[in-house]
Amino acid sequence: MNATISLSRRSFIIGVAATAGGLSLGFNVPFIKPALAEGSEAAPEINAWVVIRPDDTVVIRIARSEMGQGTLTGLAQLVAEELNCDWSKVTTEYPSPAQNLARDRVWGNFSTGGSRGIRESHEYVRIGGAVAREMLIAAAAAEWGVPASECTARMGMVTHAASDRATFYGQLAAAAARMTPPANVTLKDPKDWTIAGKPLPRLDTADKLNGSQIYGTDLKLPNMLNAAIRACPYFGGKVESFDAAAVAGMPGVRTVVQVDETAVAVVADTWWRAKTALDALPIVWDEGPNRQVTSASIAAMLEEGLGANDAFVGARQGDAGAVLSAAGRTVTATYAFPYQNHATMEPMNATALYTPERCEVWVPTQNGEASLAAAAEAAGLPVQQCEVHKIHLGGGFGRRGNFQDYVRQAVSIARQVPGTPVKLVWSREEDMLHGAYHPTTRCRLTGALDADGNLTALHMRISGQSILAAVRPQGMQNGMDPVVFQGLVLSGTEGTLGYTVDNLLVDHAMRNPPIPPGFWRGVNLNQNALYVECFMDELAHAAGVDPLAFRRKLMAKHPKHLAVLEAVAERIGWDNPPAAGVHRGLAQIMGFGSYVAAAAEVSVTDGQLRIHRIVAATDPGHVVNPAQVERQVEGSFVYGLSACIYGECTVNGGRMEQENFDSYEVLRMAEMPEVETIILPSGGFWGGVGEPTIAVAAPAVLNAIFAATGKRIRTLPLKNHDLS
Amino acid sequence: MATLIINGTPRDIEVDPDTPLLWVIREQIGLTGTKYGCGVAACGACTIHIDGVATRSCALPVSAVEPDQQITTIEGLSPDSSHPVQQAWLALDVPQCGYCQAGMIMAAAGLLMQNPNPADEDINAEITNICRCGTYNRVRAAIKLAAKAGEATQRG
């Protein structure tokens, strides 16, 4: 694939002219200077993506957020690949959201979610690298008085072979920055890549080995105070009153402030003193309208939806209803998926400095521009008078993108101590009680089998919560939440069902309990894969057919779905019996633009589950860093199996019951299975890898548990079930 | 006023004796490599060494530490990331987001001091720190690599 790209879009015309102006930082409070300006004589900006210093250091700008997924390294590889620079001289920096705004969004979208980091920016970051390369060549050619076409760029050096001249990028950078960007560039065919496509080590490892990596919780600013916060634990409740005088004299306490209608914060010299005073602070809550809400009441609400007449149709083929009612043999099962908390290791936090003229925020965020918008709104200032400094995240998983509650809180607190920076850090308890929870849904599946064991009709009725309805209503389509059907739709490039069922109906009865839902890594693909893949296993057993063979018959028109499934089946040795006492399960799904499958080997002894081995396969189209893809796939099993085995936030009295890792257990080392990852990039498309594999973790294991025990687990988590 | 020996240096601190050691390290001493994850000693992000023993510092009152005890944090494990565990971590590119990794490294270094050649079962029993990104299998491999390097008992 050689793509010649026209640079007509203004965002790619990024000569020095576009960088004039920039931010005016004319205020006299100790705001920290942004990490990057627009380049300088000492470190010229070739274009928005590339700065080259005289010592040949190449600074690559990364617009997406690094939260452990490796996007920083992968995006740098893509730029470096086209730039033809020396990878050992590459370093990275984040442009800030306000700079992006001031420069007409030259870096594009900052949002880092939906496994989009690479797949939605690969083209323009590669163009950025290619344009910079051509400008460096043009600068050398001009200096030497030779045609640019006679010069080549390689390993950070431009060479003119005919005259035996060569010079390093660092010497050319200042002149290159003044060159007119080329009107078009040709991107390399991925098969010719030498930097991209390789399993290079991450660029951000060294500081994570010795404590020097700074996270949001570690930030220190001059004169900074620390805040601990408590928001009303009852969903929909608010602050009625609090007795600030009761803690005013406690050590280190500076002030006690109300934060919006819902929360109270103590500001102190240290966070521990703030938290200690907060624990002692008498607060009376207005408990709001949801005190009667429990997990049981939510389950009943969703149960009703399973049989209700009002439902949005996500996929329809033939006439499932008619075939099911006439069918000689039907199979029905109901599954359920509970609330989950993201439980990032680094609790939510943000640091804010407010004056009546300006507001600055330092925050680990998956979406710097959303943070900027939240800061401006909370500060009551024009966005041009605000700035957000992105900090490396201690985990994101969807909690730190759409939801900027901690930014709003930090700014609200900072407004009450103007001129002083305040760092707000949530306790783990606050984090658990105020999540943006993986929504709860249920699904009733009914399938019809003919005399030969073929699936002739399938109805999937999903009942439950819509994320978009709560957090992004502009994404709704005539009242329907299309994201509910992730992985189950019949067309598109994001996530199609891998089975051809002549009579198919997938519909959704929206039932929205008063619990705030959010995008939890894998989003709705998690439960949809659980539903469809466990039920396929049920149908296969009902038909008396091997689960792989049963699926194959339905997958002839879905070769990419089938290819990853076949790959895991082959690697795990599906056609040969497993070791004594070991049992296997399979699952596949498409999501976030990629095709994924998993095969699990488990044993159940005296009710004790042991997951011995996982084989996973992924086809993301193109692979930028196979080592990072492998880490994302392997990590997906930690996340997915945590949910499968332990994950459950239960509601009682209108609030969550789990407050910390002692009641919200997650997978630990002892339970971590071996994971073998097969990467099968078939080319021609770009899929994401951070999320899709999570969805196949639970169904592969649950299907293996059925093989081991004959028990069909249809509600998560496993900890609530007796496997003996 | 109390005195703590942190990374070999005696430090005078003025703090409520109930303050968890974690917050003394982070907020009084200013060493932020040791992380807060849960506050109830359930996740291990706050793991440090006290006299060479891996210890969760978030639920340990500073008053429980004796003045002559040696506290080692991630910043003091080695001066230049040269500890065999850090080197193994680098070789296998273990961290993802990295937030739990200081605690993981300190737990691993503590394990290797007690048991220079741990079996899988020993690792399972001793390394109970939580990682949400999913580095467990590389953590396990890196512990074995560090054990193979064979120096762990003489360092850190």
Q: pLDDT band for position A42 (50/70/90)?
A: confident
Domain shared by B72 and B89, yes or no? no
**Alpha carbon B126 to its chain's center:** 13
User: Across residues B23-38, what is the average pLDDT?
Assistant: 98
Joined tokens for residue A60: 């690559």
3-state secondary structure of A575: coil
Does A529 map to a domain? yes
Could you tell me which chain A residue has the CA closest to the CA of B48? A211
> For A61-118, what is each residue's pLDDT tens digit?
999 999 999 999 999 999 999 999 999 999 999 999 999 999 999 999 999 999 999 9
CB contact under 8 A, A215 and B35: yes
Does A157 map to a domain? yes
DSSP string, A362-409: EE--S-HHHHHHHHHHHHTS-GGGEEEEE---S--TTTTSS--HHHHH
Domain shared by B141 and B118, yes or no? yes
Domain shared by A119 and A192, yes or no? yes
CB contact under 8 A, A660 and B95: no
Domain shared by A498 and A546, yes or no? yes
CB contact under 8 A, A208 and B128: no
Domain shared by A619 and A560, yes or no? yes
Q: Give exposure, A154-164, as e/b (b: 16+ Cβ within 10 Å).
A: eebbbbbeeee
Does A589 map to a domain? yes
Domain shared by B70 and B118, yes or no? no
User: Across residues A519-529, what is the average pLDDT?
Assistant: 98
Q: pLDDT band for position A43 (50/70/90)?
A: confident
> How far, CA to CA in Å, does B13 sit from each of A211, A252, B22, B25, B70?
21, 15, 13, 10, 15
Q: Give chain A's domain count.
A: 3
3-state secondary structure of A555: coil
What integer pLDDT is reported at residue A266 of this predicted model?
Answer: 99
Query: What element of type H or E holds A580?
Result: none
Does A203 map to a domain? no
In this model, does residue A207 exceed pLDDT 70? Answer: yes
By CB neighbour count within 10 A (0-12 exposed, 13-18 middle, 19+ buried), where does A426 fall?
Answer: buried
Residue B63: CATH number of its domain: 3.10.20.30
Residues of A within 8 A of B129 (CB-CB) are 668-669
Domain boundary among B76, B97, B118: B76
DSSP string, A202-260: PTT-GGGTTT-PPPGGG---TT-EEEEEEE-SSTT-EEEEE-GGGTTTSTTEEEEEEET
> Strand runs (DSSP E) across A25-132, as ranges?
45-47, 50-52, 58-61, 90-93
Domain boundary among B76, B107, B125: B76
What integer pLDDT is reported at residue A34 of this predicted model?
Answer: 43
Domain shared by A675 and A598, yes or no? yes
**Which of A28-37, A105-114, A186-195, A237-246 is least confident?**
A28-37
Residue A691: CATH number of its domain: 3.30.365.10
In this complex, which of A343, A344, A637 lies closest to B134 when CB atoms are compared? A637
Q: What is the DSSP letter of A566?
A: H
A220/chain B closest Cα distance in angstroms:
9
B58/chain A closest Cα distance in angstroms:
11
Domain shared by A54 and A159, yes or no? yes
Domain shared by A319 and A370, yes or no? no
Does A319 map to a domain? yes
Domain shared by B89 and B65, yes or no? no
- Number of Cβ atoms within 10 Å of the Cβ of A150: 14
CB contact under 8 A, B32 and A217: yes
Does A204 map to a domain? no
Domain shared by B68 and B128, yes or no? no
Domain shared by A392 and A508, yes or no? no
Residue B147: CATH number of its domain: 1.10.150.120
What integer pLDDT is reported at residue B155 of this predicted model?
Answer: 47
Domain shared by A390 and A492, yes or no? no
CB contact under 8 A, A68 and B33: no
Rounded to an integer, what distance in angstroms lies between the CA atom of residue A716 and that of residue A704? 15
In this model, does residue A1 exceed pLDDT 70? Answer: no
Q: pLDDT band for position B36 (50/70/90)?
A: very high
CB contact under 8 A, A395 and B16: no
In this model, does residue A11 exceed pLDDT 70? Answer: no
For strand A90-93 and strand A58-61, is the pairing parallel, antiparallel, or unpaired? parallel
Domain shared by B72 and B93, yes or no? no
Residues of A within 8 A of B105 (CB-CB) are 209
Residues of B within 8 A of A638 (CB-CB) are 131-134, 136
Domain shared by A68 and A165, yes or no? yes
Domain shared by B91 and B123, yes or no? yes
Domain boundary among A400, A425, A450: A425
CB contact under 8 A, B96 and A272: no
> Strand runs (DSSP E) across B7-156, as ranges?
9-13, 47-50, 53-56, 70-72
CB contact under 8 A, A210 and B132: no
B56/chain A closest Cα distance in angstroms:
14
Size of the A and B interface in Cβ pairs below 8 Å: 171
In this model, does residue A16 exceed pLDDT 50? Answer: no
Residues linked to residue A241 through DSSP beta bridges, in sequence order: A284
Residues of A within 8 A of B6 (CB-CB) are none
| Residues 6 or more apart whose Cβ sits within 8 Å of residue B9 | none
Q: Give chain B's domain count.
A: 2
Rounded to an integer, what distance in angstroms lies between the CA atom of residue A153 and that of residue A160? 9
What integer pLDDT is reported at residue A27 of this predicted model?
Answer: 28
Domain boundary among A141, A171, A198: A198
Domain shared by B122 and B148, yes or no? yes
Residues of A within 8 A of B32 (CB-CB) are 211, 214, 217-218, 220
- Percentage helix, strand, coil, to 5, in chain B? 40, 15, 45
User: Across residues A549-574, what is the average pLDDT?
Assistant: 98
Joined tokens for residue A575: 């056609």
Report chain B's mean pLDDT, rounded to a whole number. 95
Q: pLDDT band for position A38 (50/70/90)?
A: low
Does A134 map to a domain? yes
Contact A427, A347 (CB under 8 A): yes
Residues of B within 8 A of A201 (CB-CB) are 93
Domain shared by A693 and A621, yes or no? yes
Domain shared by B89 and B58, yes or no? no
Domain shared by B112 and B140, yes or no? yes
CB contact under 8 A, A272 and B19: yes
Does A210 map to a domain? no
Q: What is the ipTM of this complex?
A: 0.96
Joined tokens for residue B45: 């992000």
What integer pLDDT is reported at residue A41 of this predicted model?
Answer: 64
Domain shared by A238 and A178, yes or no? no
Report chain A's mean pLDDT, rounded to a whole number. 94
| Residues 6 or more apart whose Cβ sits within 8 Å of residue B78 | A210, B86, B155, B156
Domain boundary among B31, B59, B76: B76
Q: pLDDT band for position A119 (50/70/90)?
A: very high
Return phi, psi of residue A577, to 5°: -65, 140
User: Which residue range(s) make up the domain with A409?
Assistant: 217-288+348-425
User: Which residue range(s) make up the domain with B113?
Assistant: 84-154
Domain shared by B150 and B118, yes or no? yes
> For A386-422, what is each residue's pLDDT tens digit?
999 999 999 999 999 999 999 999 999 999 999 999 9
Could you tell me which chain B residue has the CA closest to the CA of A427? B38
Q: How far apart are the first and last CA of chain A?
A: 55
Q: pLDDT band for position A3 (50/70/90)?
A: very low
Q: What is the DSSP letter of B57?
A: -
Domain shared by A583 and A715, yes or no? yes
DSSP string, A531-543: HHHHHHHHHHHHH
Domain shared by B92 and B57, yes or no? no
Could you tell me which chain A residue has the CA closest to the CA of B78? A210
Q: pLDDT band for position B150 (50/70/90)?
A: confident
